[in-house]
A and B are shown apart, each in its own frame.
Chain A
Amino acid sequence: MPTLPRSALLIAPLIGFTVLTYLVPFLGILRWSVTLPEPGLGQYQTALSDPLVLSVFLRTLRICAVVTLTAVSAAYMITLLWVRGSPAQRLAVELCILIPFWISVLTRAFGWLALLSNKGILNTWMQSLGILSEPLTMVRNEFGVVVGMVHFLIPFAAFPLASAMRAVDERALLAARGMGAGRARVFGQIFVPMTASGILGAALVVFVFALGFFVTPAILGGGRSVMAAELIYLRIFQSPDWGLGAAVSVILMLAVGAMLALLMRRVRPGRPQ
Chain B
Amino acid sequence: MITRPGRLAACLAALVAVFLLMPLIAVIPVSFTPNRYLSLPEGDWSLRHYRALLENPAWIRGTALSIGIGVASSLLATTLALAFSLGIWILQPRHAGVLMGIALLPMVAPPVVSALTLYFFLITLSKINNLVAYDTWAGVALAHSVMIAPFAVVLITVALAQVDRRIDMAARGMGAGLMVRVRSIILPNIRFGLLSALLLTFVLSWEEIGVTLFITSVNAVTLPRLMWMGLRDNIDPAIAAISVILIFIVVVVILAKTVWQHAAEGVQK
A→B interface (CB under 8 Å): 5-15, 17-19, 21-26, 28-29, 32, 74-75, 77-78, 80-81, 84-86, 89, 91-100, 102-115, 117, 119-121, 124, 151, 154-155, 170, 173-174, 177, 183, 186, 208, 211-215, 218-219, 228-229, 232-233, 236-237, 245-246, 249, 252-253, 256, 260
8 A–B contacts from the bound complex (CB under 8 Å): A18-B106, A22-B117, A96-B16, A102-B253, A117-B235, A177-B3, A212-B113, A228-B112
Distance (whole angstroms) from the CB of B64 to the closest CB of chain A: 17
| A215 and B210 form a contact (CB under 8 A) | yes
| A106 and B231 form a contact (CB under 8 A) | yes
B-side contacts of A24, CB under 8 Å: 121
| B26 and A256 form a contact (CB under 8 A) | no
Distance (whole angstroms) from the CB of A221 to the closest CB of chain B: 12
B-side contacts of A183, CB under 8 Å: 6
| B149 and A17 form a contact (CB under 8 A) | yes
On whether A253 and B102 interact (CB within 8 A), knowing A77-B9, A214-B210, the answer reads no
On whether A95 and B39 interact (CB within 8 A), knowing A11-B87, A78-B13, A214-B111, the answer reads no
- Residues of B131-175 at the interface with A, using a CB-CB cut-off of 8 Å, are 142-143, 145-146, 149, 153
| B24 and A15 form a contact (CB under 8 A) | no
Distance (whole angstroms) from the CB of B149 to the closest CB of chain A: 6
B-side contacts of A119, CB under 8 Å: 37-39
Interchain CB contact (< 8 A) of B80 among A17, A25, A114, A215: A17
B-side contacts of A236, CB under 8 Å: 116, 119, 214
| A74 and B87 form a contact (CB under 8 A) | no
CB-CB nearest in chain A for B207: A104
On whether A80 and B38 interact (CB within 8 A), knowing A6-B178, A15-B102, A154-B20, the answer reads no
A-side contacts of B113, CB under 8 Å: 26, 29, 212, 232, 249, 252-253
Distance (whole angstroms) from the CB of B70 to the closest CB of chain A: 12
B246 contacts partner chain A, Cβ-Cβ < 8 Å = yes
A118 vs B39: C-alpha distance in the bound complex, in angstroms?
9
Distance (whole angstroms) from the CB of B146 to the closest CB of chain A: 5
A-side contacts of B23, CB under 8 Å: 108, 110-112, 114-115, 151
A77 vs B10: C-alpha distance in the bound complex, in angstroms?
8
A26 vs B121: C-alpha distance in the bound complex, in angstroms?
8
CB-CB nearest in chain B for A106: B227
Distance (whole angstroms) from the CB of B256 to the closest CB of chain A: 12
B-side contacts of A252, CB under 8 Å: 110, 112-113
A96 vs B16: C-alpha distance in the bound complex, in angstroms?
9
The list of the 10 closest CB pairs from A to B, nearest first, reads A212-B110, A111-B23, A10-B87, A11-B87, A104-B207, A14-B84, A229-B112, A25-B121, A81-B13, A78-B16
B-side contacts of A22, CB under 8 Å: 105-106, 114, 117-118, 121, 146
B263 contacts partner chain A, Cβ-Cβ < 8 Å = no
Interchain CB contact (< 8 A) of B124 among A25, A100, A229: A25
Given contacts A17-B149, A78-B12, A111-B22, 8 further A-B contacts (CB under 8 A): A13-B84, A85-B4, A96-B20, A106-B224, A117-B235, A121-B29, A245-B116, A252-B113
Distance (whole angstroms) from the CB of B23 to the closest CB of chain A: 3
B-side contacts of A214, CB under 8 Å: 111-112, 115, 210, 213
B→A interface (CB under 8 Å): 2-6, 9-10, 12-13, 15-17, 19-24, 26-27, 29-30, 37-40, 80-81, 83-84, 86-88, 90-91, 93, 99, 102-103, 105-106, 108-121, 124, 142-143, 145-146, 149, 153, 178, 203, 206-207, 209-210, 213-214, 224, 227-228, 231-232, 235, 239-240, 243, 246-247, 250-251, 253-255, 258, 262
| A94 and B258 form a contact (CB under 8 A) | yes
A23 vs B117: C-alpha distance in the bound complex, in angstroms?
8
B-side contacts of A109, CB under 8 Å: 231
| A7 and B16 form a contact (CB under 8 A) | no
Interchain CB contact (< 8 A) of B5 among A5, A80, A260: A80
| A11 and B17 form a contact (CB under 8 A) | no
Distance (whole angstroms) from the CB of B113 to the closest CB of chain A: 5
A78 vs B149: C-alpha distance in the bound complex, in angstroms?
31
Distance (whole angstroms) from the CB of B259 to the closest CB of chain A: 10
A183 vs B3: C-alpha distance in the bound complex, in angstroms?
8
